[in-house]
Amino acid sequence: MNRTSVKIVVAGGFGTGKTTLVSSVSEIPPLTTEELLTEASVGIDDVTGVESKTHTTVALDFGRITISPDVVLYLFGTPGQDRFWFMWDELAQGAVGAIVLVDTRRLDSSFPAIDYFERRGLPFVAAVNRFFGECAYTDDEIRSALELGTDVPLVWLDARDRLSSKLALIALVRHAMSRLPQAA
C-alpha cells in the first residue's frame, strides 16, 4: 500500500498553544521537547501575558493523525521563542501549510510567524486560540491588526479541544488544496 504523508506546521509565538494543539489531535502520544523555564531565560523570553507558563518547547512537538488507510498527517509544532527560530526552516521544509496560532492578548507575537510563511509562500491559516475565554475582537478587527490578506483564512479554535483543532486542520488543508494548480 502506498501511503501519502502530509506535513503540517503548527506555529506561533511563545505560549500560544502549539504543544496543546498537537497534543489534542494526535492519535499517538505526542513527542514534545518541553523544558522547564528557568532563571536563565529571564530577560530573554518575554512572558508578558503568560506569566504562569512554566514549560516551553525547545525543539519541536510531533504528532500524527491517520486520515484514511492511505493518508497520514504529520504535525510539527515549532518553538515559539526568538532564540529557537533557527529550527523553523527545518520544520517547515516539505510542509503543505501551517496553522499560525494567535493569542489576542499578545497579537504582536503572531507577526513573526505570519511574516515567515508569507515570505515563503507557504499556505497558512491564522487560528485565534480562545482557550483563555471569549475574544472581544471581531474577525475584521483581528484581520486588520494582523494585516492579513483576504486570501488567508481566519479560524477560531480552542487548542485544548480535539474537534476544534481538527476543524482548524481541515480549514488549512482546504486552503492549501485551493492553491494547487487546477488540472486542465
**Structure confidence by residue, pLDDT tens digits, 15-59:** 888 999 999 999 998 777 665 555 655 555 555 555 555 555 555
Average pLDDT over every residue of 90-112: 91
**pLDDT at site 28:** 92
pLDDT at 147 over 90: yes
Q: What are phi and psi for residue 77, nearest 5 degrees?
A: -90, 135
**pLDDT at site 124:** 97
At how many degrees (to 10) do helices 162-178 and 18-25 cross?
A: 100
pLDDT at 168 over 90: yes
**pLDDT at site 179:** 84
Close Cβ partners of 127 (under 8 Å, ≥ 6 residues apart):
99, 100, 101, 102, 154, 155, 156, 157, 168
Q: Given the C-alpha cell 494543539, which residue does it identify?
A: 21
**pLDDT at site 151:** 93
Of residues 53 and 106, more confidence is placed in 106
Burial profile 156-170: b = 16 or more Cβ within 10 angstroms, e = fewer? bbbbebeebbeebbe
* Contact (Cβ atoms closer than 8 angstroms) between residue 74 and residue 100: no
CATH code of the domain made up of 4-178: 3.40.50.300
Average pLDDT over every residue of 99-117: 91
**pLDDT at site 34:** 63
Q: Considering the entire predicted model, what is its pTM? A: 0.84
Grid cell digits, residue 54: 512554566
Q: Tell me the C-alpha distance between 160 and 89, whole Å.
A: 26
pLDDT at 82 over 80: no
Of residues 47 and 154, more confidence is placed in 154
**pLDDT at site 46:** 57
Q: Tell me the C-alpha distance between 43 and 133, whole Å.
A: 28
Distance, C-alpha 33 to centroid of its chain: 16
Average pLDDT over every residue of 94-121: 92
